[in-house]
Amino acid sequence: MKHLFEARHVTKAFTGHLALNDVNIQVPNQSIFGLLGPNGAGKTTLIRIINQITGPDAGELLFDGRKLKPDDTALIGYLPEERGLYKKMKVGEQALYLAQLKGLSRHDAMTSLRHWFRRFEIEAWWNKKVEELSKGMQQKVQFIVTVIHKPQLLIFDEPFSGFDPINVNILKEEILRLKDDGATIIFSTHNMASVEELCDHIVLINKAQTILSGSVADVKQTYKSNTFEVTFSDFRVHMEDIRHNGFEIISATADQGDGRIRAQLRPGQTPNDLLAHLMRYAIIHSMVEIIPSMNEIFIQRVNEDKQQQGGNATPIHTTLTGE
């Protein structure tokens, strides 16, 4: 597999704080790569190093198989979480200025901006001042100037912050289209639902170190727990009878013989064993394996890491959706 970007053994320390400790990541070409971690994990530091805003203390950075060079910033588009448009400038004037800073001629910039403004249905904003726009509107403009020069590598840091569901969906479609057109994307977010929907691969950083990495599909398979949910009707025995026959029942509901059971298989047991046993006592309607969500995996792995480092893990039961 070819990687557009690699960080090898990257370490970065600030006064009294180790921000990154021997971090390795590999971002496959033309993929969406999730850069995940709790607040303070080191994600922003790594993004700044990729953008050459700051440099690593140790390690190396590779871009398209070679050492990252200063002028490679022209091949990168970065949408920071903290947006940076000039409030008093007109939208069109500013977008044109920023596009030219990224190397486009005035003619090419105008052509591309017209395309994007029509695509986002924001032509009427051209002569408005940035301060007249809502936060979501400003973010659309910032997104456009991030992708306008068709960079090979795009870095989006919480790109959906401040958007309503309709505009979130529009932006997701654009991100997937950019990938289909050849871009490689690093996507930093706390919204695990978006990770599952968009990302091909992920890395999870906690306390300056990589604690989990791989394809989303492989990570989910690794963390599954042999748990199955069975729906049924015409149930004819007590739930305790199922438990006493060696099956670990996590939860069960039944009303007048209809319901569902969630069971975890013990070593040596197979799904067929559970199904064959239940078929003696009920009519089975469905049986599905319960695969953990990325949100559950995120919480579990961070808590495991905290326990390994001698801390007390605090259970979290809500989806992480922002900084």
Domains identified in the chain, total number = 2
Is 60 exceeded by the pLDDT of residue 320? no
pLDDT score, position 208: 93
Is 70 exceeded by the pLDDT of residue 241? no
pLDDT bracket for residue 314 (50, 70, 90): very low
Report, in this order, helix, strand and coil percent for the chain, each rounded to 5.
35, 30, 35
232 and 207 in a single domain? The answer is: no
How large is the C-alpha radius of gyration of the chain? Answer: 24
pLDDT score, position 231: 93
Whether 321 maps to a domain, the answer reads no
pLDDT score, position 244: 61
Strands 58-63 and 3-14: antiparallel
Question: What are 293's two structure tokens?
Answer: 């969500």
237 and 176 in a single domain? The answer is: no
Whether 294 maps to a domain, the answer reads no
Q: What are phi and psi of 202, to 5 degrees?
A: -140, 160
* 200-213 pLDDT, tens digit each: 999 999 999 999 99
Q: Which string of DSSP letters, residue by residue, matches 233-249?
A: ES--S-HHHHHHTT-EE
277 and 168 in a single domain? The answer is: no
Is 80 exceeded by the pLDDT of residue 136? yes
216, 238, 257 — which closes off a domain? Answer: 216
pLDDT score, position 321: 32
Q: What are phi and psi of 40, to 5 degrees?
A: 80, 10
Stretch 126-136: mean pLDDT, rounded?
90
Which one-letter DSSP state was computed for residue 291? P
* 96-115 pLDDT, tens digit each: 999 999 999 999 999 999 99
Is 60 exceeded by the pLDDT of residue 250? yes
Whether 301 maps to a domain, the answer reads no
234 and 212 in a single domain? The answer is: no
What burial class does residue 255 get, using C-beta atoms within 10 Å of its C-beta: 0-12 exposed, 13-18 middle, 19+ buried?
A: exposed
Question: What are 5's two structure tokens?
Answer: 């970007």
Q: What is the pTM of this model?
A: 0.86
43 and 190 in a single domain? The answer is: yes
Is 80 exceeded by the pLDDT of residue 322? no
Query: Do residues 224 and 272 touch, judged by C-beta distance below 8 A?
Result: no
pLDDT score, position 257: 72
| CATH classification at residue 251 | 3.30.70
Q: Which string of DSSP letters, residue by residue, matches 45-77?
A: HHHHHHTTSS--SEEEEEETTEE--GGGGGGEE
pLDDT score, position 137: 86
What is the rounded average pLDDT for all residues in the chain?
89
The three-class DSSP label of residue 142 is: helix
The three-class DSSP label of residue 104 is: coil
- Domain, as residue range, for 159: 3-216
Stretch 257-278: mean pLDDT, rounded?
89
Which one-letter DSSP state was computed for residue 124? G
C-alpha span between 320 and 301 (Å, rounded): 14
110 and 209 in a single domain? The answer is: yes
Strands 32-36 and 17-28: unpaired
212 and 249 in a single domain? The answer is: no
Whether 262 maps to a domain, the answer reads yes
Is 90 exceeded by the pLDDT of residue 183? yes
Tell me the HSE value of 138 on the side-chain side, using a 13 A CA sphere.
Answer: 20
* 4-26 pLDDT, tens digit each: 999 999 999 998 899 999 999 99
pLDDT score, position 129: 93
Whether 298 maps to a domain, the answer reads no
pLDDT bracket for residue 239 (50, 70, 90): low
